[in-house]
């Protein structure tokens, strides 16, 4: 494929912190740069105080937004679309949107330009609990746009691709997320800050939002007879009231630690030294945290939603599944894993080896580049005619 100018729109920005979309953009975008493409990532003006103009070879363009739950992504995506469509340094050959909400702006470049329009679906955003009736209806309308307007729609899980085919009769490109090699670290920071020695805690990592169900985990863990601790790492996403509820629940169990958002060495230490990783989500696209935990060969306990089943496969030692929303089932899965960690770790090594082989960022980048080439070939063909 000839070098192209690619604009990423819809993410918060780079470098990635805890957001799955941001990690996806960082890993795919940096590899596209290595393949000779020019990549511009449109970052929200409030994403970081360290405004680097370039990151891992990608140009970073900061665009202002309205810092509210309903308008932040929408305003930023609209202004970013305008910047990417204008002549000059920002002019893009491919406008690549991420998530359903930002897709409402895809009709503009599709109708007004001959540039390629691509959209990656990371999950069914209208099912997220934070949205009210009006916002959910608007996102469902955006769901129709996401299937019919872009030149190409990509999904990060097979389950999402199947959904788009069944619901919208749209053949989507299934390109799974990847996983980077784990960086293992001795328990230095977690010992100093939290009194953890390694192997003595279960780990939850993710945004503290209702659809990820950390409240279910807290209720289930209270019934588990174990001296192990539970570490919940993550921060609010316009969900301060919900986070307060979690704090109240956590205060009832002295084994629970709420450690806030974690990055860098601290995150690597938490992954390296956990006894197991737990993901009780009711809704996911394809959880990067689950892939990362598997790459560290951690035993996994996860809800049985389809994206989690894609990663874990059949229930067994090293990869336990429970019925989504079932607190007793979650408690039983935690008890079974903690009760025989030797068997769980053996199963986790096999599962982790498969995940690392199957979920590869280089392969995902190559597949994304193939989609770009198909889109640009069709666009150039129409232009010539």
Read off the pLDDT of residues 131-140 as tens digits, 9 standing for 90 and up: 455 555 555 6
Q: What is the reported pTM?
A: 0.90
Domain that holds residue 38: 5-178+360-384
Give the number of domains in the chain.
2
Same domain, 229 and 281: yes
Query: In which band, very low, low, confident or very high, does the pLDDT at 310 lie, cut at 50, 70 and 90?
Result: very high
Q: Within a domain: residue 140?
A: yes
Q: Can you tell me whether residue 105 is helix, strand or coil?
A: helix
Same domain, 103 and 248: no
Read off the pLDDT of residues 15-73 as tens digits, 9 standing for 90 and up: 987 678 999 999 999 999 999 999 999 999 888 878 889 999 999 999 999 887 778 88
Query: Which parts of 96-170 fold into alpha helices (H)?
Result: 107-112, 133-148, 158-168
Q: Is the separation of the CB atoms in 261 and 309 below 8 Å?
A: no
Beta strands in 198-240 (DSSP E): 201-205, 229-233
Same domain, 204 and 311: yes
Q: Within a domain: residue 18?
A: yes
Query: In which band, very low, low, confident or very high, does the pLDDT at 141 lie, cut at 50, 70 and 90?
Result: low
Q: Within a domain: residue 311?
A: yes
- Whole-number pLDDT of residue 50: 82
Helix axes 214-221, 327-339, angle to 10 degrees: 60
Give the residues across from 63 on adjacent strands. Answer: 44
Percent helix, strand, coil in the chain (nearest 5)?
A: 45, 15, 35
Element (H, E) at 316: none
CA dist., res. 292 & res. 295, Å (int): 5
Residue of 42, 43, 39 whose CA lies nearest to 4: 39
Same domain, 377 and 243: no
Residue of 217, 202, 204 whose CA lies nearest to 326: 217
Same domain, 21 and 83: yes
Same domain, 349 and 209: yes
pLDDT at residue 128 greater than cutoff 60: no
Q: Is the separation of the CB atoms in 163 and 236 below 8 Å?
A: no
Same domain, 109 and 235: no
Q: Within a domain: residue 288?
A: yes
Two tokens at 248? 């109240």
CA dist., res. 292 & res. 309, Å (int): 15
Half-sphere exposure of 122 (CA within 13 A, CB side): 19
- Whole-number pLDDT of residue 131: 44
CA dist., res. 332 & res. 330, Å (int): 5
Same domain, 205 and 61: no
- Whole-number pLDDT of residue 385: 43
Same domain, 197 and 97: no
Q: Is the separation of the CB atoms in 333 and 301 below 8 Å?
A: yes
What CATH number does the domain containing 243 carry?
3.40.50.2000
Residue of 44, 24, 21 whose CA lies nearest to 32: 24
Q: Give Cα separations from 360 to 291, 296, 355 (angstroms).
A: 10, 15, 9
């Amino acid at each position: 494929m000839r070098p192209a100018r690619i604009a990423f729109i819809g993410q918060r920005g780079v470098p990635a912190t805890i957001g799955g979309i941001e990690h996806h953009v960082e890993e795919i975008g940096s590899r596209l740069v290595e393949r000779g493409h020019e990549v511009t990532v449109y970052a929200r003006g409030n994403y970081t105080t360290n405004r680097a103009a370039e990151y891992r070879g990608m140009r970073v363009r900061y665009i202002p937004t309205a810092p509210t739950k309903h308008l932040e992504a929408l305003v930023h995506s609209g202004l970013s679309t305008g910047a990417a469509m204008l002549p000059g340094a920002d002019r893009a050959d491919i406008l690549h949107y991420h998530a359903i909400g930002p897709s409402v702006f895809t009709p503009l470049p599709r109708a007004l330009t001959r540039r390629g329009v691509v959209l990656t679906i990371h999950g069914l955003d209208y099912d997220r609990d934070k949205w009210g009736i009006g916002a959910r209806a608007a996102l469902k309308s955006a769901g129709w746009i996401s299937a019919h307007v872009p030149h190409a729609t990509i999904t990060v899980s097979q389950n999402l691709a199947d959904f788009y085919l069944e619901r919208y009769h749209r053949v989507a490109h299934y390109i799974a997320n990847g996983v980077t090699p784990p960086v293992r670290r001795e328990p230095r920071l977690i010992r100093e800050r939290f009194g953890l020695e390694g192997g003595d805690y279960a780990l939850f990592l993710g945004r503290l939002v209702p659809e990820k169900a950390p409240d279910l985990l807290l209720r289930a863990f209270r019934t588990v007879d174990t001296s192990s601790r539970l570490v919940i790492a993550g921060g609010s996403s316009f969900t301060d009231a919900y986070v307060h509820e979690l704090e109240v629940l956590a205060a009832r169990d002295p084994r629970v630690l709420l450690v806030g958002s974690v990055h860098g060495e601290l995150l690597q230490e938490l992954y390296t030294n956990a006894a197991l990783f737990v993901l009780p989500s009711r809704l996911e696209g394809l959880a990067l945290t689950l892939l990362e935990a598997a790459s560290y060969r951690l035993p996994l306990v996860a809800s049985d939603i389809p994206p989690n089943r894609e990663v874990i496969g059949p229930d067994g030692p090293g990869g336990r599944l429970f019925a989504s929303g079932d607190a007793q089932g979650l408690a039983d899965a935690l008890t079974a894993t903690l009760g025989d960690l030797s068997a769980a770790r053996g199963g986790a090594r096999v599962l982790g080896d498969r995940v690392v082989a199957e979920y590869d960022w280089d392969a995902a980048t190559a597949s994304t580049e193939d989609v770009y080439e198909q889109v640009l070939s069709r666009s150039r063909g129409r232009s010539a005619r």
